[in-house]
Structure 1
């Protein structure tokens, strides 16, 4: 009870109530299906459907539009808290859900009133969004997906890789460039919202990573896909006005999930030690072994330290709408959080084997899932670049 009271101090009562709802859902439904999702390498329909039924697909929809008001121009900490909790139960589910919320927030940031009304309703009713950016080009930042104007809308042609969530999403932000606009890529950058069941869209669920095996992070292709005018969020270059916010949130969202992965592995290790682990000579119980106590203490400190950095970054990011001068500090806080969370995730998901013992390496326990997931997702963006960003900030560069 005291531990719960202390945790609650990190949140408002409303935030903590939502967090506990997600925790109960994780314990009852999402967590129990996570290892099967990992073994079979399939989309986590059980976890996603549980979130849908519980009304969480509207998490980042403004309250006035029927949602919970998390994220962009809303409660930044609430989104972070939910992602941390979800990742502790199933990080494939959390990664898909994070990108769904990115899509909903992009509607908020770039959409017209009519677009917001339509797409917010879609989210509240349980339809998922994805967000596709990566392409297999020699220049990893270059976009070759092109929108060409036609009667009543646009034709989209392009290919994407790492298309997380594509098997279960209805809509996807397909980051593209305008065929007609001139200037730099940023000035030609466009955000069509593509219905993935549309003619000309091919979804290939061929992701074969060692971890995050249920994310559906395969390939998608668009060939002459018609996108109505009303399904393009903003004109060429409009994203530049909010790109700094979403870039920082990108790091915070991943850091939150890294902390969650570490917390999930730690939770399983603690339960195993208390209920199944055999003591070494000199210890009455496995939980009394001094080396076990040392490692458990070290892991707990790493997780809690990273969690606090993630929450701080989230609070700063949320404050930027009213105080835009805080954005540089928020960006650096996001980098700090990602560094600490990456280190915590990799260290904890590996160290749990030391305290659980050789039997924990058995496939039947599935503890390796946490390490494989952490090793895979932490490669999404080079963490050394975040260390460099913090160093530049501290040296005034």
Structure 2
């Protein structure tokens, strides 16, 4: 039995079309990315670009009013945007996974309702699911519930049209339910407390729920451990890897611009310009090669994720484990490569590139901030333990 709307694989035409859309959207975002980072304001205009471009509706099946795109296409769009504005790329990446909860946790009879409403409004989906916080609580109230509690790091909630909420049913918390809450529902309060080193426009502040009414029709379904539904977490981690890869690619492109703009050459060198200095060329060669290796692995797992998603309810625990471990390997090398690239590009761009108005620091600040989401050492543990003993980590919203 297949329980998924994503049963096909993308064509070259689809990939080319949406790569071009993401490139144009990224180009528009790049014009003032540094100024917006400094202002640290909510990204309202930037998110309108995502809606107007069609990227918000990319993964919604055509029969429900969307563009009928595939996961690999959306992940490539995240990567491309991250070269120019990693905060907006993060919001888009989370949006795809939050929106897909319609399928992962929802009854197929309700897919048309949720997807069609989302497509009509070009909804962006934020989340309140952070598992390291105390659970939000759903208290039974008539046919529905009352939602209370706080979630930190609620990416996209303050700027999204709707928020995906995961909350325990009752004080005992026997079940966790996924629900959808619109931005302006009574009792929803956004703290506006996101002020981080990087990813400053990712709208990742806290959200409080004060006796928020949750109607039966707001509930998508139970968050369980069925293999297909739990693919959402490898999907999230795959989005992270594409985000980091895009940041590395953006840092290299900006460093190339700055290197070519430099005057002259190092006084003790023999080259006539920095771009011809063998030490500069060596650094670029090393960083480009390592980034290309991450790109190859990311492309491999973007494609394989399409294939496993296409199996729907036929996905087995073994399939899920294979995706988890493969994507964990990618997450490790994407994290460490992007961090290394984003700080070592300063070696070839010189002291002038450290000026605040140049903004080369933005790439490092962004990847350093987001890569703290969950410890990369635990991803190494996942991979190593599985290789040595066959152990699989407990399924969580991190594994």
TM-score by length of 2: 0.88
Q: Separation in 1 of the partners of 2:224 and 2:368?
A: 35
Q: Separation in 2 of the partners of 1:385 and 1:154?
A: 36
Change (3 A) 1:202 1:335: same
Q: Which one of the candidate residues 229, 233, 254 is aligned to 1:247?
A: 233
Match of 2:369 in 1: 376
Structure 2: stretches of 5+ with no match in the other structure: 1-9, 391-399
Checking the alignment, whether the CA contact within 8 Å between 1:342 and 1:378 is kept in structure 2 is yes
Match of 1:171 in 2: 162
Structure 1: stretches of 5+ with no match in the other structure: 1-9
1:10-29 correspondence runs (5 A): 12-27=12-27, 29=28
Q: Separation in 2 of the partners of 1:76 and 1:343?
A: 24
Shift of 1:393: 2.2
- Once the two structures are superposed, what CA deviation does each residue of 1:181-209 show, in whole Å capped at 9, x if it has no partner? x6xx5x51111111221111100111111
Shift of 1:85: 0.7
Q: 1:163 aligns to what SS in structure 2?
A: coil
Match of 1:313 in 2: 301
Alignment length (residue pairs) = 373
Q: Separation in 2 of the partners of 1:238 and 1:370?
A: 36
Q: Separation in 2 of the partners of 1:40 and 1:337?
A: 33
Checking the alignment, whether the CA contact within 8 Å between 2:151 and 2:206 is kept in structure 1 is yes
Shift of 1:288: 0.5
Change (3 A) 1:64 1:118: same
Q: Does 1:128 align with 2:143?
A: no
Change (3 A) 1:277 1:48: farther
Match of 1:63 in 2: 62
Shift of 1:311: 1.9
Checking the alignment, whether the CA contact within 8 Å between 2:126 and 2:157 is kept in structure 1 is yes
Q: Separation in 2 of the partners of 1:145 and 1:166?
A: 15
Shift of 1:13: 3.2
Checking the alignment, whether the CA contact within 8 Å between 1:319 and 1:326 is kept in structure 2 is no
Match of 1:263 in 2: 249
Match of 2:41 in 1: 42
Match of 1:148 in 2: 139
TM-score by length of 1: 0.89
Shift of 1:151: 2.7
Q: 1:127 aligns to what SS in structure 2?
A: coil
Q: Does 1:286 align with 2:274?
A: yes
1:57-136 correspondence runs (5 A): 57-70=56-69, 75-113=70-108, 115-124=110-119, 125-134=121-130
Q: Separation in 2 of the partners of 1:96 and 1:395?
A: 36
Change (3 A) 1:193 1:303: same
Match of 1:3 in 2: none
- Once the two structures are superposed, what CA deviation does each residue of 1:342-392 show, in whole Å capped at 9, x if it has no partner? 011100110111111000000111111111111000000100111111112
Q: Separation in 2 of the partners of 1:53 and 1:119?
A: 20
1:345-360 correspondence runs (5 A): 345-360=338-353
Q: Which one of the candidate residues 310, 313, 324 is aligned to 1:331?
A: 324
- Once the two structures are superposed, what CA deviation does each residue of 1:248-292 show, in whole Å capped at 9, x if it has no partner? 112111011000111111111111212335422421122111011
Q: Separation in 2 of the partners of 1:351 and 1:233?
A: 45
Shift of 1:217: 1.3
Q: Does 1:395 align with 2:388?
A: yes
Match of 2:358 in 1: 365
Match of 2:396 in 1: none
Q: 1:320 aligns to what SS in structure 2?
A: helix
Change (3 A) 1:329 1:241: closer
Q: Separation in 2 of the partners of 1:11 and 1:250?
A: 23
Q: Looking at both structures, which has the greater relative contact order when contacts are Cα pairs under 8 Å and sequence separation is at least 6?
A: 2
Q: Let me know the Cα RMSD of the aligned residues.
A: 2.0
Q: 2:198 aligns to what SS in structure 1?
A: coil
Q: Separation in 2 of the partners of 1:242 and 1:233?
A: 16
Shift of 1:331: 1.1
Q: 1:214 aligns to what SS in structure 2?
A: coil
Change (3 A) 1:11 1:382: farther
Q: 2:34 aligns to what SS in structure 1?
A: helix
- Which has the higher mean CA deviation after the structures are superposed, 114-123 or 361-370? 114-123
Q: Which one of the candidate residues 183, 200, 211 is aligned to 1:196?
A: 183
Q: Separation in 1 of the partners of 2:302 and 2:286?
A: 25
Checking the alignment, whether the CA contact within 8 Å between 2:93 and 2:236 is kept in structure 1 is no
Q: Separation in 1 of the partners of 2:86 and 2:178?
A: 27
